[in-house]
A = this chain, B = another copy of it.
Amino acid sequence: MNTEASIITALKQKGHRLTQARRAVIGFILTQVKPFSALDVHNALSKKGVKTDKVTVYRELALLASEGFLHDVQFDDGVKRYELAALDHHHHLVCIKCKKIDDIHMEHDLDTIEKTIRKQKKFDVLRHSLEFYGLCARCTR
């Protein structure tokens, strides 16, 4: 499990510095359990009174992703989103109406499928993305 301290330590070992913006971004993302975009982060920080440029947030998230603390998540709106890498591997239920995101776990099924793909297709699966789009319980009513 990643803490603010452990992430900062890891970054420092790679020669990265602990800046105001970086601390703010790391602090924020650690509270998130749902995917977020750079603009989401920037808005959240703005509301908290933390002033940083959008560009800084974009760069910060890219760094955190490249260092393995964040994973990419892509829904069908073309916006780049991230999610804490420390979260359990899971997939998403995306409500097309209220945009709410729920998670769903199902390691087993996909592991089996990936093995099949490796064998039958000689395709080396490194990761996958699986999203279900539909209506959440509330929006169905």
Query: Which residues of the partner chain B approach A102 to less than 8 Å between Cβ atoms?
Result: 121, 123
What bracket does the count of chain A residues touching chain B fall in? 35 or more
A89 at the B interface (CB under 8 A): no
Count this chain's copies in the assembly: 2
Q: Shortest beta-carbon distance, A119 to chain B, in Å?
A: 12
Contact B106 A113 (CB under 8 A): yes
What are the interface flags for A66-78 relative to B under an 8 Å C-beta threshold, 1 for contact and 0 otherwise?
0000001011101
Q: Measured between alpha carbons, how far is A84 from B33 in the docked complex, in Å?
A: 35
Do residues B132 and A125 form an inter-chain contact, with CB atoms below 8 A? yes
Taking a contact as CB atoms under 8 Å apart, the answer to whether A117 and B93 are in contact is: yes
Which B residues are CB-close (under 8 A) to A93?
117, 121, 123, 125
